[in-house]
Structure 1
Amino acid sequence: MDFHNNEVLPQERQQRIHALLKANGRVVASDLAVRFGVSEDSIRRDLREMASKGMCRKVYGGALLPTAHFDALSQRMQRHDGERSVLARHAASLLQAGQTVLLDAGSTNVEIAQALRGVPITVVTNAPTVAAVLCDDPVAEVVMIGGRVDRASGGAIGGSAQRQLADLQVDVCIPGICALDPETGVWGNSAEEAAFKQAMIQASGVTIIVAGAGKLGTRATYRIGTLAQVDHLVVAADLSAELREQFMAGQMQLHLVPVDAA
């Protein structure tokens, strides 16, 4: 829908821009100027104001959704998240008995580990919380990656952990991520964390990414990899049409999982 009405108040225009941003994951300043019948300078002012309020993340030529904020792992695990649970179970269903899987830290991956109980599988993990879920399982084998445990993610990262990954070659990896942008790829919030996840991908034959709605169409600070390095992307089925089209344009397999009943 076009809004060729330059008499629309800036606050109302910003709310409409925000709605477009939530639906599509990104907006382009030149397109918005045409849509609203105003100058690009007016749109850029709108985007600056919106960024100052945390409504968007301004980038060259437009804006993206703001990078999702993540509480400590212990806090995230205490909150019920139906979407996270459903996506985790679907991701676990993609794994096969007898495989060796690199399972990163994170609340989603803890739920993937729970879904893997009873499956004869080898899980290599840098996360004490993931290992705790499976260490007493009679058919699963758990291998720990050691090193300094990052308080934010709950997983071991740094040089020691990366060197251990360098000596591995596994079937599948499921790295935790902070943001996923269809143009620029997969993102993390710290350099050490991103480097560890890059090493995970290098050590694996297949990469699975599980991303909740808050991570889609966003970027963080440190890039982990491109979408070309992702083999399976697991997201909720109510993905916007634009993001769906962009993700389907790549070579990866897109899994659209219904979460309404979660």
Structure 2
Amino acid sequence: MLAAVRRDLLLERLQRDGRIVAKEIAVELDLSEDSIRRDLRELATEGLLTRVYGGAIPASPAVADYGARTEIASESKDRVAAAAAELVLPGSTVILDGGTTTLSVVRHLPRGLDCTIVTHSPTIAVALLEHAAEVILLGGRLFKHSAVASGSAAVEAAGRINADLFLLGVTGIHPTTGLTTGDSDEAAMKRVLASRAAETYALGSVEKVGTASAHQVLPLDQVAGLVLDAEADAAALGQLRDTGVRIIEAAHRSH
């Protein structure tokens, strides 16, 4: 079988099943596992899938830079953000992660809401200028890809925070690989922030559900729940429900 034909078949199977098991497809095609693994490595290099132990799963398109992400699934992010904003209670201390979905959360928060918001995102902080909430901005080296502070200074500052809630942004949410993002330092910062909150909820618009990126932030059993778009892939949503994690489904709202 020609390499181009195998490539198309692998991508078609990934789209259909949401996962490729190298051993199974090697038997099906009467090829060596090494041949399948080589194909998967090449496809992963092109960003078309994410390799995992034994095979591959869909790659998240949300690893694009900050500017590009503002154009991806904007309506879905808005629905998720509206549902997530309802988790923010008066008098609470909330950590808002950086990212386009959490920026949308700010737009759904009542401007008069009395709470404290901690963030390492200067974009989030600026969006809160006209809100009644007290804002604590964590500093550090600016990671321009996601427009957030990172590095040792940001980690040290985060270690002094105690919060009721962390609204976590990720690029992939998958029943096997859990919550993932595209940068190892960013993943580490997100873990630190999660450790400072009583509850962590990960936010997932349609393009993130059922996909994965290179670096795990947390397994699903270490968060209080997920806020996901009800219009995400039904099979992927079902697999996430099967893990037992709490899911808040965000749907269209009537005006």
The TM-score with structure 2 as length reference comes to 0.84
Q: Which residue in 2 is equivalent to 1:122? A: 116
Distance 1:189 1:93, change over 3 A: same
What SS does the aligned partner of 1:87 have?
Answer: helix
Match of 1:41 among 32, 41, 54: 32
**Offset, 1:185:** 1.7
Q: Which residue in 1 is equivalent to 2:192? A: 199
* Deviation string, structure 1 residues 80-110 (Cα, Å, up to 9, x no partner): 7111111111111222222110001111111
Q: Which has the larger radius of gyration?
A: 1
Q: Which residue in 2 is equivalent to 1:82? A: 75
Conserved? CA contact 1:24–1:240, under 8 Å: no
CA distance, structure 1, for counterparts of residue 73 and residue 230 of structure 2:
19
Conserved? CA contact 1:103–1:123, under 8 Å: yes
Conserved? CA contact 1:25–1:216, under 8 Å: no
Q: Which residue in 2 is equivalent to 1:110? A: 103
- What 5-or-longer segments of structure 2 have no aligned partner? none
CA distance, structure 1, for counterparts of residue 119 and residue 4 of structure 2:
47
Letter in 2 for 1:123: I
- What 5-or-longer segments of structure 1 have no aligned partner? 1-7
Q: Which residue in 2 is equivalent to 1:5? A: none
Task: Tell me the number of residue pairs that the alignment of Structure 1 and Structure 2 aligns.
Answer: 251
CA distance, structure 2, for counterparts of residue 56 and residue 78 of structure 1:
21
Distance 1:78 1:235, change over 3 A: closer
CA distance, structure 2, for counterparts of residue 212 and residue 112 of structure 1:
12
Check if 1:131 corresponds to 2:125.
Answer: yes
**Offset, 1:31:** 4.1
What SS does the aligned partner of 2:144 have?
Answer: coil
CA distance, structure 2, for counterparts of residue 40 and residue 241 of structure 1:
32
What SS does the aligned partner of 1:173 have?
Answer: strand
**Offset, 1:189:** 2.2
**Offset, 1:172:** 0.3
Check if 1:239 corresponds to 2:232.
Answer: yes
What SS does the aligned partner of 1:201 have?
Answer: helix
Check if 1:184 corresponds to 2:177.
Answer: yes
**Offset, 1:19:** 3.8
CA RMSD of aligned residues (A): 2.9
What SS does the aligned partner of 1:210 have?
Answer: strand
Identity of paired residues, percent? 29
* Deviation string, structure 1 residues 161-186 (Cα, Å, up to 9, x no partner): 11111112100001221222211222
Check if 1:27 corresponds to 2:20.
Answer: yes
Q: Stretches of 4+ moved more than 6 A in 1?
A: none
**Offset, 1:246:** 2.6
CA distance, structure 2, for counterparts of residue 240 and residue 247 of structure 1:
11
CA distance, structure 1, for counterparts of residue 41 and residue 250 of structure 2:
35
**Offset, 1:158:** 1.3
